[in-house]
């Protein structure tokens, strides 16, 4: 049973350091970029160690490591926001009723003003056409 519990633990700084050393020994040339799996391992260490101590132990650029750590934390927070579920606020329908005021004036100067609250049960466009045609 202890074997399963140790497999779920994150790798230590020394283990990740060994992975970096293996990669450095076996890479084809010195300009080869660090593989994504190694960056992920280094970023995971930021939960337990400071960026400075990780960068020194793994011989990484402090600013590059800091960039990867911040990039991962931004990705994590975006995933957390997108995983949010619908929350019913329990507000009644009346809380969200709309309200508007419509003012019309025809060519002769005749004015009509309507104040509406909630859903209009009539065709507002037809009413405006009728008002304008009556004045013409």
* DSSP helix, strand, coil percent of the chain (3-state; round to 5): 55, 10, 35
Q: pLDDT category, 47, cuts 50, 70, 90?
A: confident
Provide the residue range defining the domain that includes 117: 95-135
CB distance 49 to 59 below 8 Å: no
Q: Is residue 90 assigned to a domain? A: no
73 and 26, same domain (yes or no): yes
Residues 75 and 99 both lie in one domain: no
82-125 pLDDT per residue, tens: 555 666 666 655 555 677 788 888 778 888 888 777 776 677 77
Same domain flag for 19 and 74: yes
106 domain-assigned: yes
Measured CA to CA, the distance from residue 118 to residue 94 in angstroms comes to 8
Residue 89 lies in a domain: no
pTM (two decimals): 0.50
> How many other CB atoms sit within 10 Å of the CB of residue 89?
5
What does the alpha-carbon distance between residue 119 and residue 125 come to, in Å, rounded to a whole number?
Answer: 14
As given in the structure block, the two tokens for residue 87 are: 């929350």
The answer to the question of residue 18 being in a domain is yes
């Amino acid at each position: 049973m202890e074997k399963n519990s140790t497999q779920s633990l994150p790798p230590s700084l020394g283990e990740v350091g060994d992975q970096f050393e293996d990669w450095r020994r076996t890479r084809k040339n010195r300009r080869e970029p660090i593989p994504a799996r190694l960056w992920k391992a280094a970023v995971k260490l930021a939960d337990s160690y400071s960026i400075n101590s990780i960068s020194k132990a793994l011989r990484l650029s402090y600013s590059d490591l800091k960039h990867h750590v911040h990039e991962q934390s931004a990705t994590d927070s975006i995933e957390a926001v997108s995983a949010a579920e619908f929350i019913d606020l329990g507000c009644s329908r009346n809380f969200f009723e709309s309200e508007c005021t419509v003012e019309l004036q025809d060519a002769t100067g005749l004015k009509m003003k309507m104040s509406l609250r909630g859903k209009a049960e009539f065709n507002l466009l037809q009413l405006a056409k009728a008002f304008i045609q009556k004045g013409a």
